[in-house]
Amino acid sequence: MELRFDLTGMLSRGKDDAPKASLSGDSLIIDCRECEFIPLPGSKECIRCMVFSLCSVGGAGRIVMRTGRDIEVSGTAGRILRDVASLKRWAVPAEPPKGRCRTCPVSRTAVVEEAWSRFPDPVLGMTAEEIVSSAPDREGCAECTATTVKTLDQISEGMSAIRRSMTESYRREAP
């Protein structure tokens, strides 16, 4: 069974030429043939594309970058990309905010989307202090602000755990 998803605009920072991704068995197939970037699995653009594709399409045992010559990403690298995608899927709220929260610059949705817009750069955006000091003084805002700060803490902890896992994997595999 093959599922197709159009990730237009989501991966190439607003451009309408993002690659298409599909699931085929246990493989995520990303069609890189019309991408404006050179397909290098370790490049920022390709890491971003693979993680965002995993988030949109779903988990897969291996990732195939379809070019003139297919490039497969699996094993430790594939596991790490799946871990990051899982962290992103968890962090972004499933439901958009309602009411005044839609326009709040420190809502969980706004802060988390800002943090992931920089991925894979290791910048989370606003600090906990900035979020708390910028929060409106209305009913429910303190609870929402605390949730947002906790989410950023968990993203940071998750990324630290992934980095530790990468370091350990590298040490085990190094000659």
Q: Helix or strand or coil: residue 168?
A: helix
Instruction: Count other Cβ atoms within 10 Å, centred on residue 68.
Output: 7
Q: Which of 88, 123, 144 is the last residue of a domain?
A: 88
What pLDDT is recorded for position 174? 67
Q: Is the pTM of this model over 0.85?
A: no
Range of the domain at 162: 92-173
Task: Looking at the structure, tell me whether residues 96 and 84 fall in a common domain.
Answer: no
Task: Looking at the structure, tell me whether residues 49 and 122 fall in a common domain.
Answer: no
In sequence order, what are the residues at sequence separation of 6 or more whose Cβ sits closer than 8 angstroms to the Cβ of residue 138? 100
Task: Looking at the structure, tell me whether residues 64 and 44 fall in a common domain.
Answer: yes
Query: For 131-153, what is each residue's pLDDT tens digit?
Result: 888 888 888 888 888 888 888 88
Residue 5 scores a pLDDT above 60: no
Q: How far apart are CA 45 and CA 36, in angstroms?
A: 10
Task: Looking at the structure, tell me whether residues 122 and 84 fall in a common domain.
Answer: no
Task: Looking at the structure, tell me whether residues 118 and 169 fall in a common domain.
Answer: yes
Query: For 62-87, what is each residue's pLDDT tens digit?
Result: 999 998 889 999 988 898 899 999 98
Task: Looking at the structure, tell me whether residues 116 and 168 fall in a common domain.
Answer: yes
